[in-house]
């Protein structure tokens, strides 16, 4: 059995602090939760962030935020497109919550000062991305939507002095309560002042908004802080993780060479939404033969088709052709992408851009209900760290910012109506400790990329499982951020591999070469993982989830 540690080896807490609610993470999900909980008058709120307030994934979101905001568009049509992209594994009720509450949530962002791009008439300027049958993507600064949203939210938090922000803080583990559930969270704070070193924050509720696990793979669009800490912490505390096998690989990430590792430059899907297209090394378009939406097919379709074409030609990448835009459109609509390309020696105005799939988004995570509640009392999760049921087997483009926004608001509303849980006394923590060697990072990433990336098979996943177990057997020299991150990624990699082995079909972003059949009704359900003297992986079937409805009118 894979030797998954039940808690991280760490020094005993040297200090204790108190808050009513601790929010772990400072992207759109975390800051929205903190602001709404604060506004509801629910007590003291502490936001802990691994770096500084703007260092998470939100600031890197280029494309925009999806909502039924345009003329002729409806939540029902947005629901339809989301469920189709999710390939039968979405929770229809969660999706309905997303699309019906989404427009008001976006308008609240505007009221906080977010400046979305507008038309000459002063209306929201909307564009289209893969899988959407309507123009419903609101964007800011052309392709700097996440940065603009992050700016507005950080300013709002700064104007709410009752929200305490603790930067450069790693969430190590949850503090168990004597009655079960959460009594607090242990942190390692790297700084000076009131909190420094390892300590414990006792609280009545913890909201995880810590993002995804992109650093599990060699190439990703995620920042360096995306090491899956929240998911791993929740798993060790007894929470259920769901749909881990559904990792979305973005099809158009700039290829910088075979030795490039870590965060890679994203080429927004909105570039294809504005008319760019993919070609192979012979200059031939290949998506027109694959899907009726061609280059705007859902991301899993484009990523798979790209990998197939790369295998067929032996090329390490394909090309994105956006030369038809011209200098003015590139500078106005995609200034961030343009600057990134030029910084890497490519001028997309005149050059083809080399692109290849890279890890982009985890559709799975901590299983939560419509109020963001996990299976552990007092533990909530929102955003990419959570599995709300919205994304299913494949996230629809630009639904991620909306999910964090909507479900963070719902967590605050639930706590306002039901009240915070009582503060629990900390229980003696007798769980066995463990720690991995931080030197395993590159081996871990190579193993996951080769055997559990876009292309998967039982033999490859078995190799990955054995190699990860061997890496976990190598204890780390001493506790610290790098060792904790390595342990978290190895834990999640092991859980993901086991979930992917169990799901013997191809669905959405989970592609099994040895089981290429799709839409197998027997697999219309969820793979859940929990920790109980080792990983326990179970499949839970559900009824057909898509399409429960069709758009009320044909999209243009």
DSSP letter for each residue of 6-57: SEE--PPPS-EEE-SEEEE--SHHHHHHHHHHHHTT-S-EEEE-SS-TT-SS
- Other beta carbons within 10 Å of 522: 9
Gap between the Cα atoms of 454 and 247, Å rounded? 9
DSSP letter for each residue of 303-314: HHHHHHHHHHHT
Alpha-carbon radius of gyration of the chain: 22
User: Cis omega (within 30 of 0) on the bond before 148?
Assistant: no
* Distance from the Cα of residue 65 to its chain's centroid: 14
DSSP letter for each residue of 273-306: HTT-EEE-TTS-B-GGGT-TTGGGS-HHHHHHHH
Gap between the Cα atoms of 492 and 555, Å rounded? 40
Query: For residues 211 and 359, is the Cβ–Cβ distance under 8 A?
Result: no
CA angle 369, 371, 372 (to 5 degrees): 70
Range list of β-strands (E), 363-514:
365-367, 379-381, 386-387, 433-434
Extract the tokens encoding 191. 């700084």
Q: Write out the catalytic residue numbers.
A: 299
User: Tell me, what DSSP letter sits at residue 421?
Assistant: P
Query: For residues 16 and 42, is the Cβ–Cβ distance under 8 A?
Result: no
- Which residues face 400 on adjacent strands? none
């Amino acid at each position: 059995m894979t030797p998954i540690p039940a808690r991280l080896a760490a020094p005993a807490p040297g200090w204790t602090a108190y808050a009513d609610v601790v929010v772990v993470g400072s992207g759109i999900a975390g800051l929205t939760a903190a602001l709404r909980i604060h506004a509801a008058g629910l007590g003291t709120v502490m936001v802990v962030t691994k770096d500084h307030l703007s260092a998470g994934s939100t600031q890197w979101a280029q494309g925009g935020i999806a909502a039924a905001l345009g003329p002729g568009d409806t939540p029902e049509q947005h629901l339809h497109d989301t469920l189709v992209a999710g390939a039968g594994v979405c929770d229809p009720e969660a999706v309905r919550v997303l699309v019906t509450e989404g427009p008001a949530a976006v308008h609240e962002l505007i009221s906080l000062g977010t400046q979305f791009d507008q038309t000459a008439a002063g209306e929201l300027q909307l564009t289209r991305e893969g899988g959407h049958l309507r123009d419903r993507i609101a964007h800011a600064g052309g392709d700097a939507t996440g940065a603009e949203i992050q700016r507005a939210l950080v300013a709002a938090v700064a104007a709410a002095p009752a929200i305490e922000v603790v930067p450069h803080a790693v969430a190590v583990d949850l503090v168990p309560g004597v009655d079960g559930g959460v009594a607090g969270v242990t942190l390692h704070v790297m700084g000076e002042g009131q909190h420094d070193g390892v300590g414990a924050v006792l609280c009545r509720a913890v909201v995880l908004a810590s993002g995804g696990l992109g650093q599990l793979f060699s190439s990703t669009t995620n920042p360096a802080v995306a090491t899956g800490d929240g998911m791993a912490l929740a798993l060790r505390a007894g929470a259920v993780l769901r749909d881990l096998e559904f990792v979305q690989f973005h099809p158009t990430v700039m290829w910088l060479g075979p030795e490039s590792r870590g965060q890679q430059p994203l080429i927004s899907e909105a570039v294809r939404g504005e008319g760019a297209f993919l070609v192979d090394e012979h200059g031939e378009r290949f998506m027109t033969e694959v899907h009726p939406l061609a280059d705007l097919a859902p991301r899993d379709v484009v990523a798979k088709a790209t990998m197939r074409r790369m295998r067929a030609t032996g090329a390490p990448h394909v090309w994105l052709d956006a030369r038809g835009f011209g200098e003015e459109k590139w500078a106005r609509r995609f200034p961030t992408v343009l600057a990134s390309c030029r910084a890497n020696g490519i001028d997309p105005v005149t050059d083809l851009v080399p692109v290849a799939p890279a890890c982009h988004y985890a559709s799975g995570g901590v299983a939560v209900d419509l109020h963001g509640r996990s299976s552990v009392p007092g533990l909530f999760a929102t955003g990419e760290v959570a599995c709300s049921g919205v994304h299913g087997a494949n996230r629809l483009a630009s639904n991620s910012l909306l999910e964090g926004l909507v479900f963070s608001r719902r967590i605050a509303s639930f706590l306002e109506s039901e009240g915070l849980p009582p503060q629990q006394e900390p229980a003696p923590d007798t769980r066995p400790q463990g720690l991995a060697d931080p030197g395993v990072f590159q081996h871990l990433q190579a193993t996951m990329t080769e055997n559990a990336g876009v292309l998967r098979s039982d033999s490859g996943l078995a190799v990955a499982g054995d190699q990860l177990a061997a890496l976990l057997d190598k204890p780390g020299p001493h506790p610290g951020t790098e060792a904790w991150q390595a342990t978290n990624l190895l834990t999640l990699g092991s859980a993901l591999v086991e979930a992917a082995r169990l799901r013997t079909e191809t669905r959405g972003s989970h592609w099994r070469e040895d089981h290429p059949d799709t839409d197998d009704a027997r697999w219309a359900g969820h793979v859940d993982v929990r920790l109980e003297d080792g990983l326990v992986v179970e499949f839970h079937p559900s009824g057909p989830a898509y399409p429960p409805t069709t758009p009320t009118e044909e999209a243009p």
